[in-house]
């Protein structure tokens, strides 16, 4: 089964220029979980002066933990954020480490060396917790396919950084197309290079943006490399405030439709997900909502279409 990790309550909300009411966020998270989404990044533990939209993350973690079967993730840029996330009870820490050092300094005010040490400190902190409170530490290598500030980011930079981060204590690394520069060939090449360097079991996910319309094709390329977790955002909300030109994530409902059509199991009810989208659009009328399936509808008799056997990949 493919895991679709919903990042809208964090990545989507942080891109907005207005605050979203806590109750709206809670309804969003609860409704997506009810639709079958099993992992949600509910917010980030950051300096709220820089990102005031994230001021209620602790309350969201507390709420999300009441939903049975939901894996609750939170973004943390440093040890202080990790401490707050662990105290709140988050199941998974997501640490952004940018392959572009210029972006790293703008995004988290730290160089590569400083971020590697930050990961090492977070690992030591997590290991010091009681066994049942030791969270997973996923490091997302941001701007892994290019940067709107520096431009080209060499593949060797990605590989070297992945090795250093795993050695510092990351549970796994992921690759993030923060700026929407990736294409399917680049996705395949860089995933395979990182797999060869740190082991395929230590890279399971990607975070993709649809800035230039290649989001779903890039997701398919990642799946072909054996990855099993795809980040997405309801309605395509999202973007990095500190990467000029970065815009929307891949659309959760469009991704679910593509995977359903291919016979790939996600465990998510597409019709229910589209209803969540409608409610979110009503709750946040000023938010830019993207995507195709919700507007066009699914094909006639979509549920009865011949699909490949999920075990063999062949058609009956």
Residues classed as catalytic: 240
Alpha carbons 51 and 242: distance in angstroms, whole number: 11
Alpha carbons 227 and 97: distance in angstroms, whole number: 20
Alpha carbons 205 and 220: distance in angstroms, whole number: 12
The answer to whether 268 and 293 are in contact (CB under 8 A) is: no
Alpha carbons 185 and 2: distance in angstroms, whole number: 21
Alpha carbons 184 and 191: distance in angstroms, whole number: 11
The answer to whether 274 and 253 are in contact (CB under 8 A) is: yes
């Amino acid at each position: 089964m493919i895991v679709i990790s919903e990042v809208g309550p964090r990545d989507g909300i942080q891109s907005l220029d207005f605050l979203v009411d806590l109750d709206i966020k809670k309804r969003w998270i609860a409704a997506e979980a009810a639709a079958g989404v099993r992992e949600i990044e509910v917010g980030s533990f950051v300096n709220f002066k820089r990102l005031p939209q994230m001021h209620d993350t602790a309350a969201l973690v507390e709420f999300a933990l009441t939903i049975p079967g939901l894996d609750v993730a939170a973004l943390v840029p440093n040890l202080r954020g990790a401490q707050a996330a662990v105290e709140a009870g988050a199941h998974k820490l997501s640490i952004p480490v940018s392959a572009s050092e210029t972006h790293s300094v703008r995004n988290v005010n730290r160089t590569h060396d400083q971020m590697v040490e930050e990961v090492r400190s977070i690992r030591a902190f997590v290991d010091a917790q009681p066994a049942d409170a030791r969270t997973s530490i996923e490091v997302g290598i941001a701007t892994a396919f290019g940067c709107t500030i520096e431009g080209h980011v060499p593949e060797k930079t990605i590989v070297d950084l992945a090795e250093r981060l795993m050695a510092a204590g990351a549970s796994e690394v992921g690759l993030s197309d923060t700026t929407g520069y990736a294409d399917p060939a680049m996705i395949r090449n860089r995933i395979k290079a990182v797999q060869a360097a740190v082991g395929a079991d230590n890279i399971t996910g990607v975070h993709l943006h649809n800035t230039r319309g290649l989001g779903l094709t890039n997701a398919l390329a990642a799946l072909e490399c054996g990855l099993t977790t795809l980040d997405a955002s309801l309605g395509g909300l999202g973007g990095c405030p500190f990467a000029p030109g970065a815009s929307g994530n891949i659309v959760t409902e469009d991704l679910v439709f593509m995977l359903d059509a291919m016979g790939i199991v996600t465990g998510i009810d597409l019709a229910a997900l589209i209803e969540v989208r409608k409610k979110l659009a009503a709750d946040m009328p000023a938010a830019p909502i993207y995507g195709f399936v919700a507007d066009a509808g699914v094909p006639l008799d979509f549920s009865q279409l011949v699909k490949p056997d999920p075990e063999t990949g062949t058609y009956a």
